Structure 1
């Protein structure tokens, strides 16, 4: 799941609508909406993101947060370390191998480091 997918699922549950109903309301297929929520598809297009913001009635900070989460929701990321210190290449390779086994505390600590 992506940060955007998790937030969209949370908003959908608060609104009390099914994935199928939301897909119909937005004019997308239920399969596509499911793929967005589960991280099988990357970030939505800008027009769809605006429809989603309007659908949930988000304004100001909440709308900006959803846009930010969408920009951070590419499930397949490529990191180019060419020209960087060898430690950068080692770090991203180790991260790619181990991220699936990290517990919540470790992921939180990692996020704290990269967000600072």
Structure 2
């Protein structure tokens, strides 16, 4: 599951909307919506996220957060380290290989560190 998929599912459950109803209302297939929620499809288009914001009647910060989560929810990440240091390339390759073995607490710790680093820029 992706961060975007998890948030959409939370919004849907909070408003007691079935996956089938939401998919029909948005004129997308239930299979596609399910795949988005479970992280089996790439990130949704900007316009679909906007439709979802309207559908859930969310605005401002909450809508921006959903857009941010969509941008960070591509389940098949490609990382280009050309031009970076050998350390960066090694780190990226080890992370790709080992990410499935990391515990949730360790992943949260690493994510927190990266978020803090990104906020300093």
Match status 1:38 vs 2:33? no
Show structure 1 runs of 4+ deviating over 4 A.
Answer: none
Structure 1: gaps of 5 or more residues: none
- TM normalised by structure 2 equals 0.93
Q: Using the TM superposition, give the Cα deviation of residue 62 of structure 1 relative to its aligned residue in structure 2, in angstroms.
A: 0.4
Q: Which residue of 1 aligns with 2:119?
A: none
Q: Which residue of 2 aligns with 1:57?
A: 57
What CA deviation, in whole Å up to 9, does each residue of 1:3-59 have, x standing for no partner? 100000000000101111110011000000011001111111121111100010001
Please give the alpha-carbon distance, in whole angstroms, between the structure 2 residues aligned to 1:70 and 1:56.
15
Q: Which residue of 1 aligns with 2:111?
A: 111
- TM normalised by structure 1 equals 0.97
Q: Which residue of 2 aligns with 1:82?
A: 82
Q: Using the TM superposition, give the Cα deviation of residue 112 of structure 1 relative to its aligned residue in structure 2, in angstroms.
A: 1.1
Structure 2: gaps of 5 or more residues: 117-121
SS at match of 1:112: helix
Tell me how large the CA RMSD over aligned residues is: 0.7
Please give the alpha-carbon distance, in whole angstroms, between the structure 2 residues aligned to 1:19 and 1:101.
31
Q: Which residue of 2 aligns with 1:5?
A: 5
Please give the alpha-carbon distance, in whole angstroms, between the structure 2 residues aligned to 1:93 and 1:74.
18
Q: Which residue of 2 aligns with 1:24?
A: 24
